[in-house]
C-alpha cells in the first residue's frame, strides 16, 4: 500500500508531482554583480561576517551555497534548463554554536534570491509536531508546515522525532508527513534539521529516506576561549555594559574552567554567566543606597561580579 499524499492547507495539492524546472522569476541580469545588486545579497553575507564571531567553515559553506544559487539564477535568465537545487539542510553541533542564528540568515539569503516566497523562519521541536494520542499528530504537523510554507522550517533536536523503542510513539507519523512535503513542495519550503552530530548520524541511518533528501550537511564547531571572550564583550556592548579593568582576564579564567565542566553550551553559557554577573552587580550597587551612581558604575561589570561564581569556588 502506498503512503497517502498529505495536503498542507493553503498550498497547492500534494498530489501534483514536483517538476525539475524552477519557478523563479527571471531578470535581465547577466553578471554575478548584477544579481548581487538586484538581491542585495552581499548585505546579508556581510552581516553574517560582522554579527557572528568565528564559524569560519560555516560562513564559507553558506557563501558556497549562495554562489550556487546566484549561478543558477543566471542560467535561468538565459533560459538554460536547470534542475531545481535541493536546499534541505542538516546543521550539527553542540548547543550555543549559532545554528538557529545561521538558519535565520539562510532564510534571508533564500528569500533575496527568490528561492522562497517569504524568507521567515519557523523554529520547532518534537513537542510542536508530535501529538500524545491517536489523530493528534497529523493536525499538529500540518499546522506547523502551513506556518512555515514560503520560508524555512528549523527542527531542533530532530532525532527525537524517531523513537523506535516505543511502538506507540507517534513521531513516525510526523516524519512521514514531513518526508512527503519535503519532496512534493520543496519549491515552497526548505527544512533544516539540527542537533548533536552523533545523534543526527544515527537518526539518518535509521531513516534513509530522510537522509537522501538532505543536500547540505554543515557542522558547527565549538567556540574557542578567545572567541567566547569576543562574544561576551559583544553581548555586553549590546546591553550598554562593559568589562571594568581586570574583568576581561577574570572572564577568560572563568571560561577556561567552565568549558570543561558538564552542560557547557558555548555562547548560551556565556549569556547565562553574564546575566548572573549583572545580577551580582545590581545587588552590589543596591547595597550602597546613599551613593550617587555614575554612568561608569551602572555600565561596568567588575571582577568580583564574576569571581563570586561557583565556577571559582571549585578548586578541584
The model's pTM: 0.86
- DSSP calls for 191-254: EEEEE-HHHHHHHHHH-HHHHTT--EEEEEPPPPHHHHHHHHHHHHHHTT-EEPTTHHHHHHHH
Note the pLDDT tens digit of each residue in 145-193: 999 999 999 999 999 998 877 777 889 999 999 999 999 988 899 999 9
Percentage of the chain exceeding pLDDT 70: 90
pLDDT of res. 3: 47
94 CB-side CA count, 13 A = 13
pLDDT of res. 8: 56
Q: Do 55 and 222 touch, CB atoms closer than 8 A?
A: no
Q: Do 52 and 102 touch, CB atoms closer than 8 A?
A: yes
Candidates 265, 278, 264; CA nearest to 235 is 278
**In the predicted model, is pLDDT for residue 12 greater than 80?**
no
**Mean pLDDT of all residues belonging to the chain:** 89
Q: Do 164 and 206 touch, CB atoms closer than 8 A?
A: yes
Note the pLDDT tens digit of each residue in 214-245: 999 999 999 999 999 999 999 999 999 999 99
3-state DSSP assignment of residue 9: coil
Amino acid at each position: 500500500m502506498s503512503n497517502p499524499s498529505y495536503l498542507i492547507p493553503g498550498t497547492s495539492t500534494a498530489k501534483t508531482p514536483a517538476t525539475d524546472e524552477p519557478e523563479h522569476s527571471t531578470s535581465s541580469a547577466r553578471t554575478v554583480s548584477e544579481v548581487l545588486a538586484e538581491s542585495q545579497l552581499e548585505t546579508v553575507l556581510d552581516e553574517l561576517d560582522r554579527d557572528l564571531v568565528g564559524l569560519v567553515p560555516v560562513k564559507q559553506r553558506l557563501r558556497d551555497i549562495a554562489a550556487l544559487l546566484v549561478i543558477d539564477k543566471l542560467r535561468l535568465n538565459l533560459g538554460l534548463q536547470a534542475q531545481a537545487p535541493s536546499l534541505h539542510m542538516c546543521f550539527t553541533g553542540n548547543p550555543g554554536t549559532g545554528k538557529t542564528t545561521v538558519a535565520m540568515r539562510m532564510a534571508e539569503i533564500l528569500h533575496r534570491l527568490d528561492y522562497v516566497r517569504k524568507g521567515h523562519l519557523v523554529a520547532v521541536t518534537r513537542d510542536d509536531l508530535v501529538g500524545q494520542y491517536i489523530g493528534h499528530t497529523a493536525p499538529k504537523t500540518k499546522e506547523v508546515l502551513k506556518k512555515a510554507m514560503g520560508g524555512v522550517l528549523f527542527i531542533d533536536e530532530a532525532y527525537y522525532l524517531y523513537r523506535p523503542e516505543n511502538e506507540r510513539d507517534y513521531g513516525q507519523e510526523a516524519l512521514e508527513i514531513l518526508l512527503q512535503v519535503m519532496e512534493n513542495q520543496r519549491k515552497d519550503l526548505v527544512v533544516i534539521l539540527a542537533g548533536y552530530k552523533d545523534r543526527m548520524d544515527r537518526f539518518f541511518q535509521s531513516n534513509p529516506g530522510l537522509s537522501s533528501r538532505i543536500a547540505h550537511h554543515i557542522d558547527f564547531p565549538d567556540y574557542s576561549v578567545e572567541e567566547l571572550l569576543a562574544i561576551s564583550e559583544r553581548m555586553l556592548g549590546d546591553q550598554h555594559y562593559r568589562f571594568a579593568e581586570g574583568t576581561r582576564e577574570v572572564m577568560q579564567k572563568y571560561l577556561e574552567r567552565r568549558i570543561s565542566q558538564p552542560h557547557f553550551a558555548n555562547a548560551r553559557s556565556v549569556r547565562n554567566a553574564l546575566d548572573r554577573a549583572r545580577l551580582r552587580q545590581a545587588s552590589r550597587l543596591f547595597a550602597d543606597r546613599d551613593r550617587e551612581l555614575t554612568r561608569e558604575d551602572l555600565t561596568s561589570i567588575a571582577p568580583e561580579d564574576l569571581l563570586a561564581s561557583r565556577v571559582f569556588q571549585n578548586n578541584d
